[in-house]
Amino acid sequence: MRIGLFSRYYHTEYKRGIAIYTYELTRALSEIIHRHDVALIDYFWDKKGYNHLPRLGNRKFKECIIRFPGRLFEKLNRSVGWPKIEFKSGVFDLLHLLHEYSAPAAKGPNIVCTVHGLGPIIFPDLFEKGYRSRWKEDLDRCLTRATKVIAVSNSLEGQLRSYRPEFSHKYCCTQLGISKEFLKEPDPQYKKRFFSTTKIDFPFLLYVGASDPGKNLIRLLKAFSIFLNEPKIVPPHRLLVIGNREWGGYASVKKAIDNLRLNDRIHFTGYVNHHDLILYYQNCEIFIFPSLFEGFGLPVLEAMASGAACLISDRPALDEVGADVAEYFDPESSESIAEKLKALLNDQPKLSKMRAAGLNYAKKFTWENTALKTIRVYESILGQSLI
């Protein structure tokens, strides 16, 4: 049996949502599937991309790089359905497209596609028209061609059923997991170097993610401004923003910071590795996630696993991931965010309970479970056991 795993994120240096899914699912599958050949497929032109491919101990899992300029590959696929993915990798018994956007054309009859969110459909005004059109075209092609479609949350599966109900028989849910690093206590020497380097000696709130409009950072900044200007018994806080500034929306966020006169209270760290990220999570007063929409909301799970108290949007699928462990606000109201923030910071016993509850709750989400459920999807198509 020959299986293909396709992702445009195998060669990515910066790991965020879909890239984490790509790496962690691949790693977990490689620890379970030992009798079948699995190809890790990506296309790119720059040889430097090879540096970021996953290193696995399972020799049945092999890299299959299509040396082709990415944008040209995508343009040809959308316009004429060429080149087929098999022209380099050969035919597969099953091909799993690990994301819906930029998925290549393929000959094989057995295709699984993972969908990570429906943002451009739910909030079309937050996306540039050209991107929205290309994304919808890619999604509809995947839904039409796929034998099975995996949604990363129950909420997203429900949204898919509302969007294209004619494909309801294809949909299933496989929730994401938490990387093992977040469940381990950091090395004491590494922790010491971290605090020496970052010079964090102040109470801080934490946001992790991109700056694009859907992440709702500008409303969070307004809420933070309201919070700082209200009478309170807590010490002055700063807001740390972790994420690559090149991911979009940063210029608007910076302008809002200037207008709100928050320059001395907002700190952008840029992209940080997992080891540093865990320490930021562990030492924040509250992790805040104001996103308007998410397919899953992996940073919330990471924060809980690291022992952070989470204050998040009351939106699908965040309410599914946060369950009764997180506290919630209306993400379209800066006043609601500020009010909840103030109430939590003035209730330290509650924050302690949230941290302890989050640690236990996050342990239920493992990439091994995600991989096993994904394999069951494969087996339902192929009609045989893969383990």
Q: How far apart are CA 29 and CA 369, in angstroms?
A: 10
Please indicate, yes or no, whether residues 377 and 354 belong to a single structural domain of this protein.
Answer: no
Q: Is residue 276 over pLDDT 60? A: yes
pLDDT of residue 326: 98
Task: Give me the number of domains the chain comprises.
Answer: 2
Comparing 142-151, 188-197, 231-240, 256-265, which segment has the lowest mean pLDDT? 231-240
Q: Is residue 234 over pLDDT 60? A: no
Residue 387 domain-assigned (yes or no): no
Please indicate, yes or no, whether residues 153 and 137 belong to a single structural domain of this protein.
Answer: yes
Extract the runs of DSSP E, i.e. beta strands, from the chain.
2-6, 37-44, 61-67, 94-97, 111-115, 148-151, 171-173, 204-208, 238-242, 266-270, 286-289, 310-313, 327-329
| Percent of residues, the chain, with pLDDT higher than 90 | 73
Q: How far apart are CA 138 and CA 22, in angstroms?
A: 18
Please indicate, yes or no, whether residues 173 and 312 belong to a single structural domain of this protein.
Answer: no
Mean pLDDT of 118-147: 94
How much is the mean pLDDT over the chain? 92
Please indicate, yes or no, whether residues 7 and 146 belong to a single structural domain of this protein.
Answer: yes
Residue 305 domain-assigned (yes or no): yes
Please indicate, yes or no, whether residues 150 and 195 belong to a single structural domain of this protein.
Answer: no
CATH label of the domain that carries residue 70: 3.40.50.2000
Residue 161 domain-assigned (yes or no): yes
Q: How far apart are CA 181 and CA 352, in angstroms?
A: 22
pLDDT of residue 378: 98
Please indicate, yes or no, whether residues 196 and 334 belong to a single structural domain of this protein.
Answer: yes
Residue 121 domain-assigned (yes or no): yes
Please indicate, yes or no, whether residues 342 and 370 belong to a single structural domain of this protein.
Answer: no
What are 41's strand-pairing partners? Answer: 6, 64
Cβ burial 229-258 (10 Å sphere, 16+ → b, else e): eeeeeeeebbbbbbbbbeebbbeebeebbe
Q: Which domain holds residue 328?
A: 180-362
Mean pLDDT of 370-378: 98
Q: Is residue 149 over pLDDT 70? A: yes
| Percent of residues, the chain, with pLDDT higher than 70 | 97
Report pLDDT digits (tens) over 53-90. Answer: 777 889 999 988 888 887 888 888 888 787 778 777 78
Cis peptide before 317 (omega within 30 of 0): yes
Please indicate, yes or no, whether residues 131 and 103 belong to a single structural domain of this protein.
Answer: yes
What are 270's strand-pairing partners? Answer: 242
Q: With 0-12 CB in 10 A as exposed, 13-18 as middle and 19+ as buried, what is 47? A: exposed
Pairing of strands 37-44, 286-289: unpaired
pLDDT of residue 80: 79
Q: How far apart are CA 141 and CA 103, in angstroms?
A: 9
Helical spans, DSSP H, in 39-96? 70-80, 86-89
Pairing of strands 37-44, 61-67: parallel
Please indicate, yes or no, whether residues 166 and 186 belong to a single structural domain of this protein.
Answer: no
Please indicate, yes or no, whether residues 125 and 215 belong to a single structural domain of this protein.
Answer: no
Mean pLDDT of 176-182: 93
Residue 350 domain-assigned (yes or no): yes
Residue 71, token pair as written in the block:
């944008």
Q: Is residue 49 over pLDDT 60? A: no
Q: Is residue 374 over pLDDT 60? A: yes
pLDDT of residue 47: 62
- Is residue 213 within 8 A of residue 249, CB to CB? The reply is yes
Report pLDDT digits (tens) over 85-131. Answer: 877 778 899 999 999 988 787 777 899 999 999 999 999 999 999 99
- Is residue 312 within 8 A of residue 364, CB to CB? The reply is no
Q: How far apart are CA 141 and CA 63, in angstroms?
A: 25
Assign 48 a pLDDT band (cuts: 50, 70, 90). Answer: low
Please indicate, yes or no, whether residues 141 and 246 belong to a single structural domain of this protein.
Answer: no
Of the candidates 165, 41, 56, 158, which has an alpha carbon nearest to the alpha carbon of residue 111? 41
Comparing 10-14, 195-199, 295-299, which segment has the lowest mean pLDDT? 10-14
Please indicate, yes or no, whether residues 248 and 317 belong to a single structural domain of this protein.
Answer: yes
Residue 332 domain-assigned (yes or no): yes
Assign 354 a pLDDT band (cuts: 50, 70, 90). Answer: very high
